[in-house]
């Protein structure tokens, strides 16, 4: 019996260590110069960690330019203070799924976290200059160009945690959750004040939402929630005037 218990303990301990394993983005060739497009390197890192059973991908000081990334279950993205994930200005670099376009995208995932004191940002001015140029040349269909990316979109996901991150200069929505469950958003700053009709955080058919210590500076609506979504807790979520966003 003791042997069985010891074997079980070792197995659980091994799984825990594996899931908590930290991998530095630089080990996968990610460049923090703000110029090199790191999409392939970052995606390879996420895929590798997922294949190993889970863990944390850590970004340290620097600007990491990237296109769309597909998140994976049991993988945590940590942006340490001074680390900035910079969205590409090319519309073709984003993840396109049905009627959703996103920089960070997850579908049918479990146990996903984006944490730290870093920043996720886009470049609206350059993005819309490029997109409008494509419209003028009629090189891409209008409905393709009309889908403006969110910085983060999650669909059919559960146990999602986003903590400490600064979202800024988003092209439309900073975060969007569709048919998700157990969403925990906390200690965030969202500066989504570049687009008049933009929302900051959007919930559609999403349950068990917790919002805590979130500052939102937005020209559009801070939080958009449909009737099928359920927020179970709101604490200290305010706008620049110190008023509640809900």
The DSSP bridge partners found for residue 185 are: 162, 211
* 107 burial level (CB within 10 Å; 0-12, 13-18, 19+): middle
- What are the domain boundaries of the chain? 26-238
Token pair for residue 211? 């919002």
Is residue 113 classed as helix, strand or coil in its secondary structure? strand
Confidence of residue 146 (pLDDT cuts 50, 70, 90): confident
**Region 19-40 average pLDDT:** 93
Return the pLDDT at 151: 97
pLDDT tens string 66-82: 999 999 999 999 999 99
The proportion of the chain whose per-residue pLDDT surpasses 90, expressed as a percent, equals 78
Beta strand segments in the chain, E: 22-24, 33-37, 55-59, 62-66, 69-70, 75-79, 83-87, 95-97, 100-107, 110-116, 119-121, 150-155, 158-163, 166-168, 175-178, 181-192, 201-204, 207-218, 223-225, 231-238
Task: Give the DSSP letter of residue 26.
Answer: G
What sign results for the dihedral spanned by CA atoms 37, 185, 158, 171?
negative
pLDDT value for 20? 61
State the average pLDDT over residues 171-179. Answer: 95
Domain 26-238, architecture per CATH: 3 Solenoid (2.160)
DSSP string, 2-19: HHHHHHHHHHHHHHHHHH
99 by Cβ neighbours in 10 Å (0-12 / 13-18 / 19+) ranks as: exposed
User: What CA dihedral angle connects 35, 40, 43 and 48, to 10 degrees?
Assistant: -120
The Cα–Cα gap between 98 and 204 comes to 15
Alpha helices in 28-164 (DSSP H): 39-51, 124-137, 142-145
What does pTM read for this prediction? Answer: 0.90
Query: For residues 170 and 151, is the Cβ–Cβ distance under 8 A?
Result: yes
């Amino acid at each position: 019996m003791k042997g069985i218990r010891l074997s079980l303990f070792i197995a659980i301990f091994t799984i825990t260590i594996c899931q908590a394993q930290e991998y530095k983005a630089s080990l996968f060739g990610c460049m923090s110069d703000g110029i090199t497009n790191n999409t392939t390197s970052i995606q390879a890192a996420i895929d590798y960690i997922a294949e190993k059973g889970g863990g944390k991908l850590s970004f340290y000081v620097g600007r990491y330019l990237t296109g769309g990334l597909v998140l994976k279950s049991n993988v945590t993205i940590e942006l340490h203070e001074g680390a900035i994930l910079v969205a590409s200005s090319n519309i073709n670099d984003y993840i396109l799924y049905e009627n959703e376009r996103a920089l960070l995208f997850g579908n049918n995932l479990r146990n996903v976290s984006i944490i730290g004191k870093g920043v996720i940002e886009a470049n609206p001015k350059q993005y819309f200059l490029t997109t409008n140029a494509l419209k003028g040349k009629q090189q891409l269909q209008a409905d393709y160009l009309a889908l403006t990316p969110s910085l983060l979109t999650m669909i059919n996901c559960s146990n999602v945690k986003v903590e400490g991150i600064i979202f800024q200069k988003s092209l439309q929505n900073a975060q969007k959750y569709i048919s998700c469950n157990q969403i925990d958003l906390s200690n965030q700053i969202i500066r989504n004040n570049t687009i008049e009709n933009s929302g900051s955080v959007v919930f559609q058919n999403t349950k068990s939402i917790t919002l805590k210590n979130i500052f939102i500076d937005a020209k559009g609506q801070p939080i958009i929630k449909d009737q099928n979504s359920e927020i179970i807790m709101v604490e200290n979520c305010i706008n620049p005037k110190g008023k509640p966003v809900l």
